[in-house]
Structure 1
Amino acid sequence: MSANASTPVELVPLDALPDQGFHAAEAVIDGDAEPLILYRDGGQVRAWLNVCPHAGRNLDWAPGQFLKSGDGHLVCAVHGAAFELQGGCCVAGPCKGDALRAVPVRVEDGMVVLG
């Protein structure tokens, strides 16, 4: 899916995302197809590239399956880096202080769209 100036790029229906949970998606960002992590918090959705800043690997342990720690962090399945869910900052692990690359998304008419 790629962005067009007049048509929003739909990623997934909001109802497909579990509240306080993750969902995998893909979108064209800067001309390249990129894997995304979507996180739903009530009616709000945050998105990041599914790329750990430590080693450049995807964070999911299996396609679309993400780990969430007991204290509410997204955990990289490869090296255990923990990311807070407000801004994607790494709070523990080998890339502490780095952050996931945010992707702007919004909810529009029940759909999560780029932008």
Structure 2
Amino acid sequence: MTEERALCRLEEIADGKARGFPGVSGGFMGLLAARQGGRVRVYVNACPHIGVPLEIMPDRFLDGAGRRIVCAVHGATFRIEDGFCLTGPCAGDSLEAVPARIDAEGTIWVPAEAGA
């Protein structure tokens, strides 16, 4: 079985919002988790264009409507559902998805090395 680490409880991310998490062991890249109802999608917090973190202000990953992930540096937009880039300099690329699961107590788990 793959080692896992807990990110947070699902209830700690408001529905229609996203939250950032630091990289493991002081790594530069962290993770972002976007919640839609009882589902959460987790991605490496790096724009595929040049690898910069997607947000400038903490936890500001989504557009005003909460429907797309937005790179604050280049304005690229990504579908929350699969991380696919719709517009911007990396159109056609995708965010790096991280497998995530929610246990019966509502805790979000990801592989231990994710976001290293």
Q: After superposition, where does 1:1-115 map in structure 2 within 5 Å?
A: 5=1, 8-28=4-24, 33=27, 34-70=29-65, 72-108=67-103, 109-115=105-111
Deviation at 1:26, TM superposition (A): 3.2
Describe the SS at the equivalent of 1:55. Answer: coil
Q: Is the CA contact (8 Å cut-off) linking 1:60 and 1:67 kept in structure 2?
A: no
Gaps of 5+ in 2: 112-116
Computed over aligned residues only, the root mean square deviation of the Cα atoms, in angstroms, reads 2.1
Offset of 1:6 from its aligned partner? 7.2
Deviation at 1:98, TM superposition (A): 0.2
Structure with the greater relative contact order (CA < 8 A, sep ≥ 6): 1 or 2?
A: 2
Percent identity between the aligned chains? 37
Q: Determine if contact 1:52/1:59 at 8 Å carries over to the other structure.
A: yes
What is the TM-score of this pair, normalised by structure 1?
0.83
User: Alpha carbons of 1:71 and 1:6: their partners in 2 closer, same or farther (altered >3 Å)?
Assistant: closer
In the superposition, the TM-score normalised over structure 2's length comes to: 0.82
Contiguous gaps of at least 5 residues in structure 1: none
Q: How many residues align?
A: 109
Higher strand share: 1
